[in-house]
Structure 1
């Protein structure tokens, strides 16, 4: 053997590569000088590299995963070869799907929200692209996604701040790297809702409360400048959005919810001209107890009453009311009255009686 050392390098030098990316494996002979070399490769993968010093794969697959070694032999000689190089391990993974998170799911109108797009190896040359869903102006409630301002060529940062969001919105992100650019899958959607009421477009619920029993009659009405509306629902159990025609009955601009089975979802209106409204979180329960609390925001300084209702009985012992998991009233009253609401009253509420408990609902407080 000769004292020169063979080394395998990977270009681009990323710790993990993904199905479909272009890579080049290179066999370098240290201090090889002007000597002409022939090359030999050995690999545990199904790939069989040629006898060149460079081996390019235009679109890697998982079958290319494995260890790669090389050695060099001086041309025109029989025995003047290097030792085998140390192995380089190539790991080829499925095309990545970023995870999009938002700093807050509920915003006051005009507040800012930070989007974060996370890939498995964030330092490996990724650029990030940010999208917002917009209704196409066809009136048929098809959707398209437009890039957020300043992100058409991607951002180096994996976060993006949306300033002054005023309406309910849906966001997605994706990542790309390399030249030509290799693209990740698009993330699942994240939603940022506002419960604030706009004069131009609003959703109202009848009856105005956050919790209902199964079989209750519940309707959602869309109001605004548009003549064409639908109600959209988002729930943890449903990966995609569905409109009222799937889980209710649309009659003009009013949607009647099917309450035959339990659900916990956020609802808002969208128009064919691209408007969206405030959102409400509605829980339908098949249990024995619900908390009557307003679905829409309560204005500071106004009074509000929260009630505990049982499907089967009247209350004959202590009723507990909780605010953010802390007991704030425990006596025989089935009603919690707040005479002048302040911002500190905002939060999650629930009630409990005889060991049975309602679901918790968020009460939003807005300025006058």
Structure 2
């Protein structure tokens, strides 16, 4: 006689992931395989993992993925053992979608040609999420005291044409815990303090006419300061543009004029221009 007992479906493996929610490139996640129905024999199970349909080496109920790089992966697990039942059913497919880390970028002020002794402001921008602590690198060396979004850097007196490379990245306690680093931003020093050039293209100046002076500097982003008689006096005017106009001049406007330019915080000044003499008839 053959005894026929009740048939029973194979236990089904279930799969869970931690942490939950959005997962980011480079994160460590833990997959947990649970097989219900035989709790007293759980430790007899040998667990097999499938990634994108390919069988992986047998392992433990927890499968730790140390680096997420592919954007989409599908995982399954199954249990086998020598006791009855000898296998579980595979878990349902668990799809893990990876989100790219936000990327930092560096901006600099002022723009254009830079000079030894000038102060530049570097800013690290990360458009997504908040609460970042910033890490700065100069020529691949960490700047340990710089952790804010904006840093000010005084360009030392170095050789003309020497280039320094800067980049930044963000760190925080919440997920994502880091950003992708910015591209390297190069700062090249053009030379020592530039000199302003003052031009005045009117030969004969009569009372009542308007006179325009033009101050030029090789690079951009300057404010212009205008001086009369002495270069160490207070400026008679400050303009955002490179021109200064004397309207309806009189004999009292006659004399020598100079200019120089400044930019940044604290202000970095160019050398004074050579003087021009205005003679009013």
TM-score, normalised with respect to structure 1:
0.39
Q: In proportion to residue count, which structure has more strand?
A: 1
Larger RCO (CA under 8 A, 6+ residues apart): 2
Give the greater-gyration-radius structure (CA). Answer: 2
